[in-house]
Amino acid sequence: MPEPESASGSASGSPSPSGADALAREKAHLAASRSALRTMREEVEALDIADVTANWVNKQAMEARTEQRIRELADLAHTPLFFGRLDYSGGDHEGHQFYIGRRHVHDGAGEPMVLDWRAPVSQPFYQASRTAPLDVDLRRRFGFTGGELTAYEDERLTGPAGPDPAPRTGRLLQEEIERPRVGPMRDIVATIQPEQDEIVRSGLGGTVCVQGGPGTGKTAVGLHRVAYLLYAHRERLARTGTLVIGPNRSFLHYIEQVLPALGELEVAQATVADLVARVAVRAVDSPAAALVKGDARMAEVLRRALRSHVTPPGEPVVVERGSRRWRIPAYELAEIVAELQERDIRYGAAGEALPQRIAHAVLVRMEEAGEAPDDRVQDAVARHHAVKAAVKAVWPRVDPAKLVLRLLSEPDFLAAHAEGLLDEEEQRAIVWAKPARGVKSAKWSAADAVLIDEAADLVQRTPSLGHVVLDEAQDLSPMQYRAVGRRCSTGSATVLGDLAQGTTPWATAGWREALAHLGKPDAVVEELTAGFRVPREVISYASRLLPHMAPGLTEVESVREAPGSLDVHEVPGGAEGAAEGAAEGADGELDAAVVGACRTALLREGSIGVIAADSRIPALAAALTAAGLAFLDPGRETTAESRLTLVPASLAKGLEYDYVVLDEPAEVVDGEPDERTGLRRLYVVLTRAVSGLAVVHRRPLPHQLTGWSPADPA
Ligand SMILES: Nc1ncnc2c1ncn2[C@@H]1O[C@H](COP(=O)(O)OP(=O)(O)OP(=O)(O)O)[C@@H](O)[C@H]1O
């Protein structure tokens, strides 16, 4: 371990260096650490694996590992090698200084120059406080500008209280959050807050569910938790795998760089639709049909329908071998079948076990007759055509997609298995008006694909991963929770969501029930209440909607004041004129006002999101183009040259922009099938801005936002 002098370069015992000197020493440590990292990389690059690998396969594997290691050791120009320092004044590390960074760096003698943020000795960087200093005397946070170390911020955790910044409002934290965004989501490793850190470091064994309002850092926490788990349980998770599940491609694209920036390159990403993509999805269900298809009762309907394929044996099995015939009577076959049905094994596995069970019964008879058959005889009997024929009749193979197809095509078949589970109206809601002819030509919906996935799991167990992060979970149906749950049945999960942002007809009403569907009823539910993204003025405005669409949920408490961050601009013309414009999907004056707001936002640094009801997107796209303002769609990465993104409200969830221009809130609400969902959608889009929100409207704002009630006199 380095002594204070060697780690910081500070002259021990001399008067405390001036700020400038201290900064110079820290810069020197950064330069020395960079050079040590370069040496580490050069050592890996120079490894001659030809000497240590005996064969081609090993060589390939070693080469891949070496390449990955070289990538992990890259010194990224704009990613500081360390962001903090801890000076220990007690415990095992008394008198030592540690620099905390994204990865471990050591010098030629193997002494650490930078410690991985995930190491136990780094934890006080996130957790220590004046009330619980955890043996740490000083915590230093570094500020960087374009990869250059330019500032630091100290907190004394022991001795008389000084003018230290409270961690929540620290200048560096504020600057970090407000640093203009271009490109994908960034990591928060330098500024993880204590309550976030507790979730990040919670053990691999347990499932954690995090409820948190917009911008409380749920996504960030989930991704950092994966990085932490990979550090703490690398071998196990390398074997079993990790997966991050997000709501759509744009969102996954937005978050995809966070884990690589933390040195983790092997985490898979998918949407729920990707996980269950066994058939091509080409149809959209009515809300009523999707609601029934997503209900957990469908799991039981499927189970019954599948099991109905087992037919009680009516005939004996007669196996001829040489001059002898062995006969297993029907009642004995029925006993074997009943025993398999009672056991908790998958339909397919039981079907595969049946021939061996029948063969075993034959062997018992052979032994009783004085023969001494061995395993080979049993295998031969199991493959005998009479046994195969019996198995086919009693326990036929079932194709999961065909099973669902039949349920949705044949009202009688559905009724037989939905009895006591779905009422007649519910059954009618899901049966296809026009029965499909085959699996390939059927017009499957997203919910149908989930049903097929459930059926497939009833036939054959879905392999489980080691850990799954499920983001924006509040929008999943019970059947979708089950689909995710079977992918972490022997592993654990991090479930992230906000009940107030649920915008599907089946949105999660409470986490306990959702976790039961996921198969993790004992998961711990944590709450994050501090808001990092949205400034106080904006979150208070958006939170006016809460009592109307998610009563009981408390307002997020923003850690940031940003006076002037909210601008509500009314375009004259009012209710009458706007109605016609809206009907045509175009409204020249409103469009012009939105373009104007974009121009104003473009004068500042950072990303700009223009968010509008999906129906307004074509008109706004045309207006922006006519005004010469280039824009991206949310699946594309912003760059310094193209900072403007046109976002349909339905895709805004989970995303964020430095500045948001929100077009016509009333239209966003009207774009949803009911008012509650509309207000929730509005809440989502009102909470996407980091530095400023401009609301541009011509129609009256929804009264829940203005506080005006329809009952009030005008
Ligand atoms: N401790 C932190 N330090 C710095 N930035 C943070 C911290 N926690 C969160 N943030 C930032 O706040 C913003 C919101 O975080 P994130 O997207 O994870 O929130 P969320 O709870 O998932 O939001 P939503 O519910 O809207 O999806 C991001 O820019 C993130 O980097």
Q: What is the pLDDT of residues 118-132, one digit of tens each?
A: 999 999 999 998 889
- Homologous superfamily of 185-274+403-530: P-loop containing nucleotide triphosphate hydrolases (3.40.50.300)
Given a contact cutoff of 8 angstroms between Cβ atoms, the answer to whether 703 and 710 are in contact is yes
Ligand 1 contact via 606 beta carbon (within 6 Å): no
74-87 pLDDT tens trace: 766 667 889 999 99
Ligand 1 contact via 498 beta carbon (within 6 Å): yes
What is the arithmetic mean of pLDDT over 431-438? 92
d(CA 107, CA 179): 32
Nearest CA to ligand 1 atom 27: 654
Nearest to 480 by CA among 287, 272, 271, 245: 272
Q: What is the pLDDT of residue 159?
A: 78
Q: What is the pLDDT of residue 186?
A: 83
Neighbours of 643 (CB within 10 A): 24
Q: Determine whether 70 is exposed, middle or buried from the number of CB atoms within 10 Å of its CB (0-12, 13-18, 19+).
A: middle
Ligand 1 contact via 607 beta carbon (within 6 Å): no
| Gyration radius of the chain's alpha carbons | 31
73 against 551, higher pLDDT = 551
What's the 218 CA to ligand 1 centre distance in angstroms? 6
Ligand 1 contact via 191 beta carbon (within 6 Å): yes
What's the 635 CA to ligand 1 centre distance in angstroms? 19
Given a contact cutoff of 8 angstroms between Cβ atoms, the answer to whether 157 and 136 are in contact is yes
What is the arithmetic mean of pLDDT over 145-156? 85
What is the arithmetic mean of pLDDT over 349-358? 95
Residue 581 scores a pLDDT above 60: no
What's the 510 CA to ligand 1 centre distance in angstroms? 22
Structure tokens at 389: 């024929």
Given a contact cutoff of 8 angstroms between Cβ atoms, the answer to whether 116 and 231 are in contact is yes
User: What number does the ligand 1 atom closest to the CA of 181 have?
Assistant: 29
- Is 27 annotated to bind a ligand? Reply is no
Ligand 1 contact via 219 beta carbon (within 6 Å): yes
In this prediction, what percent of the chain has a pLDDT beyond 90?
70
Residue 55 scores a pLDDT above 80: no
Task: Identify the band that residue 54 occupies on the pLDDT scale cut at 50, 70 and 90.
Answer: low
d(CA 504, CA 344): 34
Ligand 1 contact via 193 beta carbon (within 6 Å): yes
What is the arithmetic mean of pLDDT over 600-610? 95
Upper half-sphere CA count for residue 65 (Cβ side, 13 Å) = 10
Q: What is the pLDDT of residue 713?
A: 52
Token pair 């940003």 is found at 562
Nearest CA to ligand 1 atom 30: 217
E strands, 146-301, in order: 148-156, 208-212, 242-245, 268-270, 281-283
Nearest CA to ligand 1 atom 15: 217
Chain-wide mean pLDDT for the chain? Answer: 89
Task: Identify the band that residue 17 occupies on the pLDDT scale cut at 50, 70 and 90.
Answer: low
158-195 pLDDT tens trace: 877 655 545 455 677 788 788 887 777 888 888 899 99
Task: Identify the band that residue 393 occupies on the pLDDT scale cut at 50, 70 and 90.
Answer: very high
User: What number does the ligand 1 atom closest to the CA of 190 have?
Assistant: 3
Interstrand relation of 324-328 and 317-321 (parallel, antiparallel or unpaired): antiparallel
What's the 19 CA to ligand 1 centre distance in angstroms? 32
Task: Identify the band that residue 216 occupies on the pLDDT scale cut at 50, 70 and 90.
Answer: very high
Neighbours of 369 (CB within 10 A): 9
User: What number does the ligand 1 atom closest to the CA of 498 have?
Assistant: 25
Angle between helices 446-459 and 478-485 (to 10 degrees): 40
What's the 654 CA to ligand 1 centre distance in angstroms? 9
Q: What is the pLDDT of residue 151?
A: 87
Nearest CA to ligand 1 atom 8: 217
What's the 604 CA to ligand 1 centre distance in angstroms? 21
Structure tokens at 583: 């009907």
State residue 543 phi and psi, 5-degree precision.
-70, -10
Structure tokens at 438: 């085959």
Task: Identify the band that residue 495 occupies on the pLDDT scale cut at 50, 70 and 90.
Answer: very high
Nearest CA to ligand 1 atom 14: 215
Nearest CA to ligand 1 atom 23: 215
What's the 558 CA to ligand 1 centre distance in angstroms? 11
- Contacts of residue 463, defined as CB under 8 A and 6 or more positions apart, other chains included, come to 487
Angle between helices 478-485 and 511-518 (to 10 degrees): 50
Nearest CA to ligand 1 atom 29: 533
Task: Identify the band that residue 574 occupies on the pLDDT scale cut at 50, 70 and 90.
Answer: low
170 against 618, higher pLDDT = 618
Provide the greatest CA pair distance for the chain. Answer: 104
Nearest CA to ligand 1 atom 28: 533
In this prediction, what percent of the chain has a pLDDT beyond 70?
91
Ligand 1 contact via 247 beta carbon (within 6 Å): no
- Is 707 annotated to bind a ligand? Reply is no
Name the fold adopted by 536-706: Rossmann fold (3.40.50)
What's the 38 CA to ligand 1 centre distance in angstroms? 32
The whole-model pTM stands at: 0.89
Interstrand relation of 112-116 and 324-328 (parallel, antiparallel or unpaired): unpaired
What is the arithmetic mean of pLDDT over 400-414? 97
SS (H, E, C) 324-345: EEEEECHHHHHHHHHHHHHCCC
How do the domains of the chain map onto residue ranges? 4-164, 185-274+403-530, 317-394, 536-706
Tell me which of 6-15, 334-343, 536-545, 628-637 is least confident. 6-15
Residue 667 scores a pLDDT above 80: yes
Given a contact cutoff of 8 angstroms between Cβ atoms, the answer to whether 681 and 614 are in contact is no
Q: What is the pLDDT of residue 210?
A: 97
Strand partners, 136: 88
Ligand 1 contact via 669 beta carbon (within 6 Å): no
Ligand 1 contact via 196 beta carbon (within 6 Å): yes
Q: What is the pLDDT of residue 13?
A: 33
Residue 609 scores a pLDDT above 90: yes
- Is 218 annotated to bind a ligand? Reply is yes
Residue 261 scores a pLDDT above 80: yes
What is the arithmetic mean of pLDDT over 203-229? 94
Given a contact cutoff of 8 angstroms between Cβ atoms, the answer to whether 124 and 134 are in contact is yes
